[in-house]
Amino acid sequence: MKIVVGLGNPGLKYEFNRHNIGFRIVDSLARNIEIEFKKVKSYYSLISRGMINNHKVMLVKPQTFMNLSGRAVSKVVSYYKIPLQGLLIVYDDLNLELGQVRIRKKGSAGGHKGIESIMQYLNSEEIPRLRIGIGNPSVNFNFNCMSYVLSNYNNNEKDKIEEVIQLSTEAIKTVIEDGFEKAMRKYNRKLIEP
């Protein structure tokens, strides 16, 4: 079984924030394979189970808020005894241009508090991930990282983000059906242009 975890913050207030792109992509995948989420209190998460071409998959949306995502993910991993290579964490990345996606088998947290929490709870950096570029306007001297990731996309970005969500949904399906290497070759060079 493959466990796909979308990171975000729970609640309607955060639904369309840049920081919630992981939730939106996992929601898109759930719609694509026609499964629904149910709250599982013992995992601090919304969980959905289904199949992608004969591969069992579980989709997880931690409800602990971003910075405590590791608490929820560790509960799921521990209960199902899933090796770390059976995970795929989907989250926003300030270090990638808006429209870029990157699949990696391991790596540092890169300053992202959600993936950092997961690494701390699982005691490893060898956690597969799909990083979604949300842009980085840090050239502006008044840039506030927290305000930016908790902001919604502007009107010019909304269509592009919908394309990124669709591309990311297909990338996840490729990881599950064909493995990381093929997915990395196919999607790591992609960039959704305006």
Q: What is the pLDDT of residues 42-55, one digit of tens each?
A: 999 999 999 999 99
Whether the predicted pLDDT of 107 surpasses 60 = yes
55 is catalytic: no
Whether the predicted pLDDT of 100 surpasses 80 = yes
As a whole number of angstroms, the distance between CA 69 and CA 60 comes to 11
* Residue 106 · residue 127 · CB < 8 Å: yes
Whether the predicted pLDDT of 143 surpasses 70 = no
Considering Cα of 148, then 64, then 16, then 7, what sign does the dihedral take? positive
pLDDT given for residue 193 in this prediction: 66
What is 2-187's CATH number?
A: 3.40.50.1470
Band (137; pLDDT cuts 50, 70, 90): confident
* Residue 105 · residue 183 · CB < 8 Å: no
Band (147; pLDDT cuts 50, 70, 90): confident
Which runs of consecutive H residues, i.e. helices, occur in 33-179? 69-80, 113-122, 145-149, 155-178
pLDDT given for residue 142 in this prediction: 63
pLDDT given for residue 140 in this prediction: 61
* Residue 139 · residue 102 · CB < 8 Å: no
Q: Which of 2, 8, 17, 19 is catalytic?
A: 19
Band (70; pLDDT cuts 50, 70, 90): very high
Grouping H, G, I as helix, E, B as strand and the rest as coil, residue 138 is coil
DSSP state of 153: P
pLDDT given for residue 65 in this prediction: 93
Whether the predicted pLDDT of 82 surpasses 60 = yes
Whether the predicted pLDDT of 130 surpasses 70 = yes
pLDDT given for residue 168 in this prediction: 97
Whether the predicted pLDDT of 194 surpasses 80 = no
Every domain of the chain and the residues it spans: 2-187
Task: Kindly give the pairing relationship between strand 129-133 and strand 101-104.
Answer: antiparallel
- What is the mean pLDDT of the segment spanning 8-18? 96
